[in-house]
Amino acid sequence: MTELEDLIRAVTGNMVPGGSMFGRTVARIIELTLEPLGAAEPARTRAELEKVCAWANRTKPSMATVRNAVTLALATADATDGSSRSVVEAVSAAMRAFVARSERAVEALAGGGADIVKPGARVLTHSNSASLQSVLGRVVATVPDVSIGVTESRPYRESRRLVESLAGSGVPVTLFSDAAMAVAVGQSDVAIVGADAVFADGTLVNKIGTLPLALACRYHGVPLYGVTELAKVFDGDPSEVGMELRPGAELSDGWEPAEDGRVAVWNQFFEPVPPELITAYVTEAGLVAPGGMLAAYRSSLSAASPCVEP
């Protein structure tokens, strides 16, 4: 299996850990798709670019990093003279810059955990992301006497990967069922989640179950923070961002009433959380209020080099 085939399989099979990595993976897929087309007819090169971009948006409709990588690729191609060589070179460079910028951002936001997690705090998380791993890894290394609570995050149980990333830290970890989420919040001092997208008004899109978590946090008076690189902000119409539905078999595999059609299965993977339920976002630019995320995102683009600006 080639690298391109392997990456496409990982995206399609939802085997990539978190929105940042999905964005980087799609950027690499775009680069690899164009790689052999430098001497091709311009129409073919453009068609292949549009095809892979449409596939990416269709496959991961909820992830802003994917949409932003696609937007950047198409805009970069539009700015060339249209020849295959210029499109391949320019778009490939833009995709590499997109990946490098994401890596720097996730590393930069790691220190933000110290601003929201105090010594002795009981931290609750839901699901998994590279940004969340970055922040919690720094927290357990620098903030004394913290403990971590994680929900299962079914059906993939992504929180297990988060816990495994902290292996060896010695920090106490407690696993809660998703159904016990409100109980978990009541035993926590702060909740921290990743983000797959952030809308212009500060709405957070994340793994299903994040809205019940946010509501439980509001009820118990526990602050809820989103951890995200600014590249996950979607500067567009939220109605364009679909909430991904995964195959029902992920929930009901082997259950006869579902397999023979007597029971319908709704396996929504992401959901929006309104900004009034989010305390703040931890970003590479520091703590940002939900209503300030769009401005922070636009400012980050202005500060970036032209080759990484959508």
SS3 239: helix
Tell me what pLDDT residue 191 has.
99
pTM exceeds 0.85 for this model? yes
> If you average pLDDT over each of 9-23, 141-155, 163-177, 237-251, which comes out highest?
141-155
pLDDT tens digit sequence for 170-213: 999 999 999 999 999 999 999 999 999 999 999 999 999 999 99
Same-domain status, 128 and 73: no
- Using CA atoms, how far residue 276 sits from 21, 46, 237, 282, 285, in Å, is 27, 42, 19, 16, 21
pLDDT tens digit sequence for 38-88: 999 999 999 999 999 999 999 999 999 999 999 999 999 999 999 999 999
Contact 192, 123 (CB under 8 A): yes
Q: Is 70 or 1 the better-scoring residue by pLDDT?
A: 70
Average pLDDT over residues 221-230: 98
Residue 247: Cβ-neighbour burial (10 angstroms; 0-12, 13-18, 19+): exposed
Residue 204: Cβ-neighbour burial (10 angstroms; 0-12, 13-18, 19+): buried
Domain count, the chain: 2
Domain ranges, residue 84: 3-106
pLDDT tens digit sequence for 21-40: 999 999 999 999 999 999 99
Same-domain status, 117 and 95: no
Tell me what pLDDT residue 140 has.
95
| Side-chain half-sphere exposure of 78, counting CA atoms within 13 A | 8
Which of 106, 141, 156 finishes a domain? 106
**Torsion 16-19-22-28 (CA) sign:** negative
Same-domain status, 132 and 266: yes
pLDDT-derived band at 304, boundaries 50, 70, 90: low
